[in-house]
Amino acid sequence: MTDPVLVLIDHDRGTVGDETRQALAFSRACLPHAPVAAVVIGGAVPPTVSGADAIWHVRHVELDDYAPEAWGDALHQLAAAVSPSAIVATGTERGNEVLAHVAAIADEPFAANVLLATPGSPWRIRRARWGGSLLEDATVSAQLPILSCALHVYSGDLANAPAAREVSVAEFVPTLGPGAARTRVVDRVQIAEGITLTTAPVVVSGGRGVGSEEGFAAIEALAELLGAAVGCSRVVTNQGWRPHADQVGQTGKRVAPDLYIACGISGAIQHWVGMQAAKHVLAINTDPNAPMVTKADYAVIGDLHEIVPAIVEELRRRRA
């Protein structure tokens, strides 16, 4: 296969998110013979993208900030011009949203959260369904395969596989009317500073066992000492103890920290799928038979209201 794969680069005003590099690694792994062309939409100057054979910089006044329909329209026009073998993005909210627009315009199927892809007629794919609790093997019959790769399956480091070298940057200017961007970014609210839930190396998460909004003070204290982010289960957001932005799981965030500390969380499948990519899990729970405990690498059986403050106190004592 010699036609290039177009890989959408998910960036926020020129800052490329780590996740977007997973799509480059996915393309290298599943389509090893196809050149990889990164597609940077918007901005005056394309951000540096390592791991691609070429870069398309798509420019237009309607693309200055994130606008899903306009980005999808522009990417579709680029695809029509260069006839790629496939279009790929990382399965972030933005990646999936933009590819859904491309697929709708092209009248082609869109396969989201793909784990493996084998080109052919038809393409064979394996993808994660139901929040990762089900693997689906499927075929895709399409003139233009459009795929997003499942998050945290391919290491972004692999995107660096080709030696660093000069990569050509070509410009593409799509035809977009003034109404192309029906959804626009009009304001930004900073809801987290420093460490974020999806990038934190350690996540301290609380569930129903925490008991109240005030109960999260000890969880926050532990997170601060560990340089961790605070997460929670859906019961907690349903109770209004934490905002939905902190929820981990099928209907919350997917996290992949080095260590996930689950305090008073039973480990329901809908929660587990959000943190199953964690390298190590420590469960703190009164129930030795809770799924979170039986699946965890480490467990402390007992009342989190005693255990978490004790860990905080010991960490402070040692650091003093």
Contacting residues toward ligand FAD, per CB under 6 A: 207-209, 233-235, 247-252, 264-266, 268, 270-271, 274, 284-287, 290, 303-305
Q: Decide whether 18 or 303 has the Cβ nearer to ligand FAD.
A: 303
Q: Are 216 and 264 in contact (CB under 8 A)?
A: no
Report how far apart, in Å, the C-alpha atoms of 97 and of each of 6, 100, 103, 108 are.
16, 5, 10, 15
Least distance in angstroms from the C-beta of 286 to ligand FAD: 4
Which two structure tokens, joined as six digits, stand for 171?
Answer: 């410009």
- With CB atoms as reference, the residue minimizing the distance to ligand FAD is 249
Q: Decide whether 65 or 287 has the Cβ nearer to ligand FAD.
A: 287
Q: Decide whether 115 or 304 has the Cβ nearer to ligand FAD.
A: 304
Report the relative pairing of strands 110-118 and 123-129 from DSSP bridges: antiparallel
Least distance in angstroms from the C-beta of 181 to ligand FAD: 31
Q: Decide whether 67 or 232 has the Cβ nearer to ligand FAD.
A: 232
* Cα 84 off chain centre by: 24
Least distance in angstroms from the C-beta of 215 to ligand FAD: 9
Least distance in angstroms from the C-beta of 229 to ligand FAD: 15
Least distance in angstroms from the C-beta of 211 to ligand FAD: 7
- The Cβ-side half-sphere exposure at 37, using a 13 Å CA radius, reads 24
Give kind and range of the element (H or E) at residue 304.
helix 304-319
Q: Decide whether 43 or 309 has the Cβ nearer to ligand FAD.
A: 309
Judged on CB neighbours under 10 Å (0-12, 13-18, 19+), 161 is: middle
Judged on CB neighbours under 10 Å (0-12, 13-18, 19+), 183 is: exposed
Which DSSP category does 164 fall into? P
